[in-house]
């Protein structure tokens, strides 16, 4: 009897753990699918800019919008440290670090201490630091060559994405950068997290102190247009209200000078994304990397989508299948197989490729028979408890050793079921918002299966309709119970997908179809209007708004009547001065969770 009871308990435990793991995995799949769909939207946005140039009434004026940085070039190349000192006063009331150049280890320690205590570095010191960083980066090659012969081990870190706690934990576990403890940080220092600026300041400070021992590769998020979409631009403008334009302008230049790759002992290639069947390291090494950036060259727009050599190394992902195919999930770069890796290794006599760019639940992943390693250093990337971060230690034999970690502030007090529940709840919330933003298309797709107009379809048909519209490659049948109601006959009430959501639409003039369109493309429109708004006042003219909107809907093939947007725009020009606050306008069209609204 005791043995039978033990067997039953063991079966129950295994079943429970399996269900929790299944829920965790599909939650992470939801997060990643939505992330990649968002990156496809970014590509769509770049295509719109080209379309805008071709169809605008005043193409020269529009070209000027995109060729000139939206932040004025107020930071002169020749503006030296002393001039910043003269022009920007540091008040006596400022209690943060006071930097003097050249920097010392004591300065770096002061920065670390200040950021642990949530202090800001004064704008004068930020600008001086960035100016010095640009000067040092300009002397560096496109591909940095390192050797382990002068060091026992080299540490390689992946994406940090503004998660300062991860960087501090890495330094706590692994030691600060020094001549005896070299580091390579493999891009994507910024965006998504709330402390991108602090991460940059710390990394740039150590770069200035140890230029031969701390190395930085460029990631796909070290890019002005990406920063507009994923939060870094907003972070800088909030933290440095008086000097943020100067800081962003200088950062844009600094990003363009970041090296593209690192090679260790002529055997290990480290770059942010991946490779393609056309990757040529000699070509990359000869490129004028500072000219490959986010602005227009003639009629070619956004470096990240038109210069394929750079696009491939910043955006590509490995796959187990042979060949090199377009990366449709992200909308840029490619999927490269083991044969592509082998070909590059044979050509350049390489042994290993270390790349980042891709979320991994355990912080790292090994693929292509051990030849390709993905390292991801941002723990809790999607939600607290969602994943570990990791870094690599490479010894002189070039044998990788992985160190995993996870910053835990709240999850330590939760059991496994609670942690998975938190991740699942956050993932489903994001997915429901995605579903509601495509309500019209989904309703049409459901109707094709609902021949008798009952409002109910089979689970298989419901899943097929969901995938045909959203194209997220998710296990829809498994997710059905979380997203839609089923009647006793086993049919899905497909409109129940939308019951708990609505567009937060206080503007009564907005027609429901128009409100849904504005809700769906809110992020894109925000970026477009921020670029058009060259003085960053938050205001654009009614004419600019209407013309941009018409071009945008024409490019996407959206059927929205012109008079409906005209009436809406006129209604929110409250003081009738011919300008609107577009951020306030777009904020009206976000998705509200009805239950949350009731709770608040």
C-alpha to C-alpha distance for 140 and 14, rounded to whole angstroms: 54
As a whole number, mean pLDDT of residues 406-432 equals 84
3-class DSSP state of 228: helix
The yes/no answer on whether domain 501-599 falls in CATH 1.10.238 is yes
Report, in this order, helix, strand and coil percent for the chain, each rounded to 5: 50, 15, 35
Domain-wise residue ranges, the chain: 122-411, 501-599
Of 255, 252, 236, the C-alpha closest to 244 is: 236
Where is 145: in which H helix or E strand? strand 143-146
Q: Are 127 and 247 in contact (CB under 8 A)?
A: yes
Residue 451 has pLDDT above 90, yes or no: yes
Strands of 248-312, DSSP E: 261-264, 268-270
Confidence of residue 67 (pLDDT cuts 50, 70, 90): very low
Burial zone of 4 (CB within 10 Å; 0-12 exposed, 13-18 middle, 19+ buried)? exposed
Query: Which one, of 462, 441, 440, 438, lies nearest residue 450 by Cα?
Result: 462
**Which residues are paired to 392 by β-bridges?**
156, 402
pLDDT surpasses 90 at 365: yes
Of 33-42, 145-154, 339-348, 539-548, least confident by mean pLDDT is: 539-548
Q: Are 580 and 545 in contact (CB under 8 A)?
A: yes
Q: Who has greater pLDDT, 311 or 414?
A: 311
- The C-alpha atoms of residue 562 and residue 585 are separated, in whole angstroms, by 17
The predicted structure's pLDDT at residue 70: 43
Task: Give the model's pLDDT for residue 122.
Answer: 97
Cβ neighbours of residue 309 under 8 Å, at least 6 residues apart?
Answer: 278, 279, 280, 283, 284, 287
In this predicted model, what pLDDT tens digit does every residue of 301-352 receive, in sequence order? Answer: 444 433 678 889 999 999 999 999 999 888 788 999 999 999 999 999 999 9
Q: Going by CATH, does the domain composed of 122-411 fall within 3.60.21.10?
A: yes
231-235-236 Cα angle (round to 5):
125
- The answer to whether residues 273 and 220 touch, using CB atoms and an 8 Å cutoff, is yes
How much is the mean pLDDT over the chain? 85
The residues that are catalytic are: 221
Helices (H) and strands (E) in the chain, counts: 24, 21
Calculate the alpha carbon distances from 194 to 33, 218, 234, 238 in Å. Answer: 22, 20, 10, 11
Q: Which residue has the higher pLDDT, 557 or 187?
A: 187
Q: Measured between alpha carbons, how far is 477 from 475 in angstroms, rounded to an integer?
A: 6
Q: What end-to-end distance do the CA atoms of the chain give, in Å?
A: 52
**Global pTM?**
0.86
* Closest C-alpha among 196, 192, 301, 184 to residue 247: 196
Which stretch of 238-252, 338-352, 569-583 has the lowest confidence by average pLDDT? 569-583
pLDDT value at 300 more than 50: no
SS3 329: coil
The predicted-structure confidence for 131-175, as pLDDT tens digits, reads as follows 999 999 999 999 999 998 766 799 999 999 999 999 999 999 999
Query: β-pairing, 214-216 with 183-185?
Result: parallel
The pLDDT confidence band at residue 298, using thresholds 50, 70 and 90, is very low
Give the model's pLDDT for residue 105: 97
């Amino acid at each position: 009897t005791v043995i039978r009871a033990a067997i039953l308990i063991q079966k129950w435990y295994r079943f429970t753990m399996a269900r929790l793991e299944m829920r965790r995995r599909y939650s992470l799949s939801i997060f990643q699918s939505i992330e990649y769909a968002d990156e496809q939207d970014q590509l769509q946005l770049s295509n719109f800019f080209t379309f805008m140039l071709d169809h605008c009434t005043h193409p020269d004026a529009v070209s000027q919008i995109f060729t000139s940085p939206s932040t004025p070039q107020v930071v002169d190349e020749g503006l030296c440290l002393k001039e910043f000192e003269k022009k920007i006063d540091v008040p006596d009331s400022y209690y943060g670090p006071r930097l003097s150049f050249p920097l010392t280890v004591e300065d770096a320690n002061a920065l670390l201490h200040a950021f642990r205590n949530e202090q800001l570095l004064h704008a004068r010191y930020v600008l001086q630091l960035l100016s010095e960083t640009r000067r040092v980066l300009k002397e560096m090659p496109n591909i940095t060559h390192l050797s382990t012969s002068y060091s026992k081990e080299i540490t390689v870190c992946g994406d940090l994405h503004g998660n300062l706690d991860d960087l501090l934990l890495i330094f706590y576990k692994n030691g600060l950068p020094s001549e005896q403890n070299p580091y390579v940080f493999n891009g994507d220092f910024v965006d998504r997290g709330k402390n991108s600026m602090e991460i940059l300041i710390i990394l740039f400070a150590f770069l200035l102190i140890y230029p031969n021992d701390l190395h930085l590769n460029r990631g796909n998020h070290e890019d002005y247009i990406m920063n507009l979409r994923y939060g870094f631009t907003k972070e800088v403008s909030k933290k440095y209200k008086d000097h943020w334009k100067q800081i962003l302008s200088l950062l844009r230049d600094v990003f363009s000078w970041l090296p593209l790759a690192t090679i260790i002992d002529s055997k290990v290639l480290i770059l942010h994304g991946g490779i393609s069947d056309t990757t040529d390291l000699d070509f990359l090494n000869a490129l004028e990397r500072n000219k490959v950036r986010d602005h227009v060259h003639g009629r070619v727009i956004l470096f990240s989508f038109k210069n394929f050599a750079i696009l491939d190394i910043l955006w590509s992902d490995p796959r187990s299948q042979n060949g090199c195919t377009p990366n449709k999930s992200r909308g840029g770069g490619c999927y490269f197989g083991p044969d592509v890796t082998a070909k590059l290794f044979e050509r350049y006599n390489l042994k290993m490729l270390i790349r980042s760019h891709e979320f991994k639940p355990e912080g790292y992943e090994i693929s292509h028979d051990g030849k390709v390693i993905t390292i991801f250093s941002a723990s809790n990337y999607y939600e607290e408890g969602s994943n570990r971060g990791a870094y690599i230690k490479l010894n002189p034999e070039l044998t990788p050793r992985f160190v995993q970690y996870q910053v835990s502030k709240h999850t330590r007090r939760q059991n496994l079921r609670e942690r998975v529940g938190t991740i699942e709840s956050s993932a489903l919330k994001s997915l429901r918002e995605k579903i509601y933003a495509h309500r019209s298309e989904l309703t049409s797709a459901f109707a094709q299966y609902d021949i008798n107009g009952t409002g109910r379809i089979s689970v298989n048909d419901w899943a097929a309709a969901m995938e045909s519209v959203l194209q997220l490659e998710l296990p829809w049948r498994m997710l059905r119970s979380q997203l839609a109601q089923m009647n006793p006959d086993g049919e899905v009430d497909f409109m129940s997908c939308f019951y708990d959501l609505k567009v937060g639409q206080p503007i009564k003039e907005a027609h429901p179809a128009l409100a849904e369109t504005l809700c769906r493309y809110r992020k894109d429109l925000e970026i477009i209007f921020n670029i058009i708004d060259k003085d960053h006042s938050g205001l654009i003219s009614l004419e600019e708004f209407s013309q941009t909107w018409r071009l945008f809907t024409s490019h996407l093939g959206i059927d929205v009547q012109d008079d409906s947007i005209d009436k809406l725009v006129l209604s929110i020009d409250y003081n009738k001065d011919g300008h609107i606050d577009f951020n306030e306008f777009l904020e009206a069209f976000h998705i509200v969770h009805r239950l949350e609204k009731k709770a608040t």
